[in-house]
Each structure stands twice: as C-alpha cells, then as structure tokens.
A = this chain, B = another copy of it.
Amino acid sequence: MNTISLITDFGLSDNFAGVMKGVILNINPDAKIVDICHEVKPQDIFEAAFLLKGSFRYFPSGTVHLVVVDPGVGSERSKILVKTKKYFFVGPDNGVLSLALKEEPPIKIIEITNRKYFLRPVSDTFHGRDIFAPVAAYLSCGLDIDEFGNPIKSIQPLELPKIKKTEKSLSGEIIYIDRFGNLVSNIDQDTFKNFTKNKKFKIYIKDKIIDKLSHSYTEEHPLKPLAIMDSFHYLEIALNSGSAKDYLGINRAEKVVIQR
C-alpha cells in the first residue's frame, strides 16, 4: 500500500508537483510516487476525471490515487477520501473522482476534516501541498480512513456526455484529444458493437465518412481519416502518421454520428 499516483493541473514548469512529493516523502519515506499526468488543462475537471478513469485500474492494489484539479481551492467545496475494493482515491469533491468511481464503486466515503493530518498553516491556494499530499501519505502508511473525518453518503457527480441513440443512428461527440491529435469520442466499445452488430456502418465526422474499423494506424493512407477502437475502449478517429485534430480542424465537443 505504498504507491501514490498523481493527477494534477499543476504543470511541470513550477514547483507545485515537486513540493507535493517532498511532503509525501517526509511523511512516508517508502512511498512510490507515480505521475499519471500534471498537464491537465488548468482547472479542467472533466479531463482529469477522464484520465483517472482510464488509468486507475492498471495500478497495484492498495494504490492511493490523488487528484488535485481544484478551481475551488480555499472555498467551501469539500475534500474527500474514498475507499474501494482495491484502491483509495483522494481529491476535492468537485466531480474529479466520479468517473472512476462509477467503475470502482465506493465502499466508504470520508469527508476530510481532521486538521491533525494537514500541514500548518494551511494556505489559501495550495491544498495539494497542505491537505491532499499529507492525507495521501498518511493513507499510504496504512492509517485507518476513519481517522481523517466522518463518513458521507455521496459525492459530486460528473457525467460523460450522453450518446443519443435512434433506430438508425448513434450520435456522440469528441471528448478527449491526445498528444498525437487522436480524437477520442464518448462512443464506447460495447455501445458501438451492439449498434453495428458486425454489419455495415458509416461514421460521419465533419465532412468525412469512414465505413470500417481499422486495427492499426498504418492500415490507412496517411491522408485518410480512420476509425479505431482505442486502448481505453472508446471509438477514436485518427490519422496514419499525422494528427487527425489538425487535419480535420476539430476540437472537443465536435459531433460524431454513426449510421447503420
């Protein structure tokens, strides 16, 4: 129970993430700290939630997943700690943990209030350092979760955009764009398969039509957009050796429609 994963929007050009690691090692010198991502777009709760959802299950049992994307720092938003069957999750109660917790149901939720485990004084602007990092560190030492505060019943929800389904079509949208310019939609593998049932289909995105699922980026010509089931089981629009984002001029929220 020594691994602590980090997702923040602190970036890597300041000392925020590094200072959190110092705080953690000061409390638990044996902690193994793993950066999942610090380059979440500033204050983009959805992006952090989506990255956590796609990452948490690959970590060792007992990992403390710490997420600090916290536009409400210093305000009255709660701070929470969640125990599930395999993991712990720590972060502000602003939805950032909710997509992961839909797949890994909470066994117990604690509102973090016990100042005994905070740095002192607690600053107005950096609860990552003063509250979340020490709580994650003490958790990784095996401290009982009831030590940190009182149980609460539920957390702030956050939803993936809904897929609209008709007899003839599925309508989704681009919800994430990765470094390569791959366009990840909210159409998950199960919904896609149930709808297309191994029969013919057409995917419409902007002015392009794609009529098959590829199994490698290299299957298509470099200037022909392709569809592929991505590694986190969502339908992705991509380009062989290039950026589909740049080629198609597409941003998050762009519509994707599948017709059968």
Chain B nearest Cβ from A75, distance in angstroms: 4
Identify which of A32, A34, A58, A236 gathers the most chain B CB atoms within 10 Å of its CB. A58
Chain B nearest Cβ from A137, distance in angstroms: 11
With A26-B60, A71-B218, A218-B71 known as contacts, the answer to whether A21 contacts B42 (CB < 8 A) is no
Chain B nearest Cβ from A24, distance in angstroms: 9
Q: Chain B residues near A125: list those with CB within 8 A.
A: 217, 228, 230-231, 236
Q: Chain B residues near A59: list those with CB within 8 A.
A: 22, 25-26
Q: Chain B residues near A228: list those with CB within 8 A.
A: 124-125
Interface string of A24-37 (1 = CB under 8 A from B): 01100100111111
How far is it, in angstroms, between the C-alpha of A211 and the C-alpha of B125 when the chains are bound? Answer: 19
Is A84 an interface position by the 8 A CB rule? Answer: no
* 8 A Cβ contacts from A31-89 to B: 32-39, 42-43, 51, 54-55, 58-60, 63, 71-75
Q: Chain B residues near A37: list those with CB within 8 A.
A: 12-15, 18
Q: Chain B residues near A51: list those with CB within 8 A.
A: 14-15
Whether B124 and A179, one on each chain, are in contact in the complex, defined by CB atoms closer than 8 angstroms, is no
Is A114 an interface position by the 8 A CB rule? Answer: no
Is A132 an interface position by the 8 A CB rule? Answer: no
Is A195 an interface position by the 8 A CB rule? Answer: no
Is A5 an interface position by the 8 A CB rule? Answer: yes
Identify which of A14, A29, A33 gathers the most chain B CB atoms within 10 Å of its CB. A14
Identify which of A11, A13, A36, A60 gathers the most chain B CB atoms within 10 Å of its CB. A13
Is A156 an interface position by the 8 A CB rule? Answer: no
Chain B nearest Cβ from A163, distance in angstroms: 21
Whether A55 and B218, one on each chain, are in contact in the complex, defined by CB atoms closer than 8 angstroms, is no
Is A241 an interface position by the 8 A CB rule? Answer: yes
Q: Chain B residues near A15: list those with CB within 8 A.
A: 7, 36-37, 51, 54-55
Q: Provide a sorted-by-A list of 5 A–B residue pairs whose CB atoms are within 8 angstroms.
A: A11-B179, A14-B178, A15-B54, A18-B55, A19-B36
Known contacts A12-B37, A18-B37, A124-B231; 13 further A-B pairs (Cβ under 8 A): A3-B25, A3-B29, A12-B12, A12-B35, A14-B178, A15-B55, A19-B54, A19-B58, A25-B59, A42-B179, A73-B217, A124-B216, A125-B217
Question: Which 10 interchain pairs have the tightest Cβ spacing?
Answer: A74-B216, A126-B231, A18-B36, A11-B179, A22-B58, A123-B231, A22-B59, A13-B39, A75-B216, A75-B218
